[in-house]
Structure 1
């Protein structure tokens, strides 16, 4: 559920997250979830947030969207995620991209790494699932002095009259407990998370774009979301997907949907001590 400012209610998301298992939707996740766009990695490079040769850790890496992008930028990357099936898909996607990432199955709340091991830690599309205070504190320990933390999102926007708004309404009709509706793609509380963990030089950046999806790909993207395959049983997913296909054909018959998205990030540096 979202608050009055359009942000996701953190407690509602954590409560809902107890029933979520993205491993159950690994195939759709790998095939249909558009990863962070090239412009996101261009921003990291142009602002000096990510530089070739750095050692990076990507928390909650899933199928490796951020980890792979960083590796393609020239960083030495480790991805951490609790769902082995997602990591297996990440390795397949890495092979297709001809890039190498080291993957570790584990949680961000108990990372199996030594202190001061990384120059950069990222968390893409996952911070709301974590025990945020604990993970921010861990990140400060795992970073070298002067190292950087980046929390980033690539969110669809449920603007009025769009396919996103109609899709979110359908998800809620099938899964009223889903806590992800109505977001704005901006997360002001994440700044405080970094500040409380001792990060300095905190700043944000964002930009909007449209992401093209075919009907089949958008259906797959939604099946891969927390509100559908990651939390509903197979029969319920099939019922939802059938109604979603009918909705798209009836109200949004264009061949290629243009889905509004927002890229947003907050970053801070570990103090040099």
Structure 2
């Protein structure tokens, strides 16, 4: 069974930022490395009834990948500011959740309150989304709702904007000729990065016992897949280009095809997982 969504009256649900085409988001955003998923599952070894709280869940990539590996999950809380993303996440989980219950909370992560207070999260995840959040307040919320032995996992691998390769550098310059030198961030203006390392945020929180785990990831993109991915980003979504988007898309496709080798564009990335516990928590 699943429980009803929890609407939050203070939710900031900016569908123009990521929610315009949820299908593109689900199709083109890269998944998580298997090694990272198994690392998350291992943190729940010995936990009788694991409960997952996934912050900034998007289309549910983390729980969808974790459920087949951590079959003992008894409950999942999904949190996102985008109602359409939550609907997509719940639909993606339905065929694989088994007896695991699912609740969805529409709102900013730091405002989360459990739908089922008796099920304190034992694993709290944020994948490629922590930089959008009010991080100290999110970690304070996590301290309030999490089980004593809970693990917080902050994960990510940058984006094609930050990846350094000939083809991504050329693509970035093309985007800048249309939108300006500063990286755009949707309706939030420009993006200046998180300001300080996530390790510092964690060090100042209750979850100050931190370990870092890095996994190399090799990806092969087609030019068309890159364009699909760009449509889901805050820095190159179609609305930013207004009536010049078709012009940009045609120019970008030509550029990407020129750089592709055998129709493929290679990305060698590194997926990083920060596991954080309260001092004295189980290793």
Q: Shared fold (TM-score greater than 0.5)? A: yes
Aligned residues: 252
Q: Where do residues 1-273 of structure 1 align in structure 2 (5 Å cutoff)?
A: 21-46=17-42, 53-72=49-68, 73-74=70-71, 75=73, 76-95=75-94, 101-113=102-114, 114=117, 117-156=120-159, 158-161=163-166, 163-176=167-180, 177-178=182-183, 189-229=197-237, 232=240, 235-271=243-279
The Cα of 1:102 is off from its aligned counterpart by 3.3
Q: Would you identify which runs of 4 or more consecutive aligned residues in structure 1 move more than 6 Å?
A: 49-52, 185-188
TM-score, normalised by the number of residues in structure 2: 0.77
The Cα of 1:106 is off from its aligned counterpart by 1.7
Separation in structure 1 between the aligned mates of residue 43 and residue 215 of structure 2, nearest angstrom = 15
SS at match of 2:147: strand
- The alpha-carbon distance between structure 1 residues 142 and 236, as it changes in their structure 2 partners (threshold 3 A), is farther
CA contact (8 A) 1:215 1:256 kept: yes
Separation in structure 2 between the aligned mates of residue 218 and residue 30 of structure 1, nearest angstrom = 14
- TM-superposition CA deviations, 1:202-248 (whole Å, max 9, x none): 11111222112222112101111111227625534433322211111
Structure 2 segments unaligned to the other structure (5+ residues): 1-13, 186-192
- TM-superposition CA deviations, 1:11-30 (whole Å, max 9, x none): xxxxxxx9961112322111
TM-score, normalised by the number of residues in structure 1: 0.79
> When you count strand as a share of all residues, which structure comes out higher?
1
Higher relative contact order (CA 8 A, sep 6+): 1
Alpha-carbon RMSD: 3.2
The Cα of 1:47 is off from its aligned counterpart by 5.5
